Amino acid sequence: MKILITGGAGFMGSNAVKYFLKNYPDIQIVNLDKLTYAGNLENLKEVENDFRYKFIKGDIADEKLVDEVVKDIDVIINYAAETHVDRSILDPKAFITTDVLGTYALLEAARKYNIKKYIQISTDEVFGSINNGKFTEESPFEPNSPYAASKAGGDHLCRSYFKTYGIPVIVTHSCNFFGPYQYPEKLIPLFITNLLENKKVPVYGDGQQVREWIFTEDHCRAIDAILQKGEIGEVYNIGTGNEIPNIEITKILLKKIGKDESSIDHVKDRPGHDRRYAIDSTKLRKLGWQPEVNFEQGIKQTVDWYEQNEQWWKRIKSGEYLEYYKKQYQV
């Protein structure tokens, strides 16, 4: 089977490339990634010489290139996206281009070349915020940030390509990812690396916003289950039940890194900040998937990884990594 993984140089995309190569000896993976600020080929060092793996630098919104790449592909898994909510508030355009028009270009190619399965990696944020209970796959979309709205746009296109053209699409809505190789702009890696640098951590508003967390390998296993057993035209929520308020996560990290609450900087809240995400993943669990890494194990592995891989995140935080990997990888 030949799989196109888009955004495979990013956080979860690179974990997925490594996961599939490790678990499927006969697989071939093509990684199409634009290498935005979030794409980093260092994440893929251990597989870069694997004969089953090929990297192509390019934009999923480039219709001509996508047509060329998809020609001999069996399955598309679309991880590529602009992903950071704060960046979408400052500058939404790239989000609309990649998350909506990029999805369109991939779906058009899937339509032309009889792709066997197209999996859209999406987010629980499309449902908006929920104070009580959980979102199901049938909950209406109520996106509150330009990021969430762009992802919702891509997801709606997926649904329409299934209904109108019969393209074998599956859409997934996951809760928040965490683990090694996450770009240090998201809550957990930003806070770990700030604390390791003896800097303060910026907690937005009252810190009582709740997110549900999934460790990298559990998300990879969920996508694997959906690839093997997921039904075409269906939507699957990916959730763990690990719901934790931001301030609690902050305190866990302070303790692990040996800091006290004087390292907290209470800053102005994010505009349109969603209060709580929680999703019902009963449907996915019926495929035989369940999370295997609890939050405590995952956070220990994550903190240990950032402690042991200073060079990776220091290069990113200093801005030096762009120059480094242009030279290293000639891209």
Q: Is the CB of 250 or the CB of 259 nearer to ligand NAD?
A: 250
Q: Which two tokens stand for residue 203?
A: 């907690």
The span from the CA of 10 to the CA of 4, in Å, is 14
**108 among known catalytic residues:** no
6 touches, from ligand DAU, ligand NAD, none (C-beta below 5 to 8 Å by class): ligand NAD
For residue 2, the cross-strand partners are: 28
Q: Which of 125, 212, 218, 274 is catalytic?
A: 125
In the three-class reduction of DSSP (H, G, I as helix; E, B as strand; rest coil), residue 202 is classed as strand
Q: Which two tokens stand for residue 186?
A: 């998201």
Q: Is 2 within 8 Å of 30 (Cβ atoms)?
A: yes
Q: Which two tokens stand for residue 269?
A: 């809240």
Q: Is the CB of 30 or the CB of 61 nearer to ligand NAD?
A: 61
Report the Cα 142 to chain-centroid distance in Å.
20
Residues making contact with ligand NAD (CB under 6 A): 6-7, 9-13, 32-36, 38-39, 59-61, 79-83, 98, 102, 121, 123, 151, 174, 176-177, 183
The span from the CA of 293 to the CA of 296, in Å, is 8
Q: Which of 59, 82, 124, 137 is catalytic?
A: 124
Burial class from Cβ neighbours inside 10 Å (0-12, 13-18, 19+) for residue 145 reads buried
Rounded to a whole number of angstroms, the minimum distance from the CB of residue 270 to ligand NAD is 15
Residues making contact with ligand DAU (CB under 6 A): 83-85, 123-125, 175-176, 186-187, 190, 202-204, 209, 211, 246, 270, 277
**125 among known catalytic residues:** yes
Q: Which of 79, 147, 183, 321 is catalytic?
A: 147
In the three-class reduction of DSSP (H, G, I as helix; E, B as strand; rest coil), residue 259 is classed as coil
In sequence order, the 6+-apart residues with CB closer than 8 A to the CB of 79 are 5, 6, 7, 8, 10, 12, 13, 16, 121
211 touches, from ligand DAU, ligand NAD, none (C-beta below 5 to 8 Å by class): ligand DAU
Q: Which two tokens stand for residue 258?
A: 């040996």
Q: Closest residue to ligand NAD, Cβ-based?
A: 10
Q: Is the CB of 46 or the CB of 248 nearer to ligand DAU?
A: 248
202 touches, from ligand NAD, ligand DAU, none (C-beta below 5 to 8 Å by class): ligand DAU
Rounded to a whole number of angstroms, the minimum distance from the CB of residue 203 to ligand DAU is 5
Write down how long the chain is. 331
For residue 214, the cross-strand partners are: 177
**218 among known catalytic residues:** no
Rounded to a whole number of angstroms, the minimum distance from the CB of residue 301 to ligand DAU is 18
Rounded to a whole number of angstroms, the minimum distance from the CB of residue 209 to ligand DAU is 4
Positions marked active-site:
124-125, 147
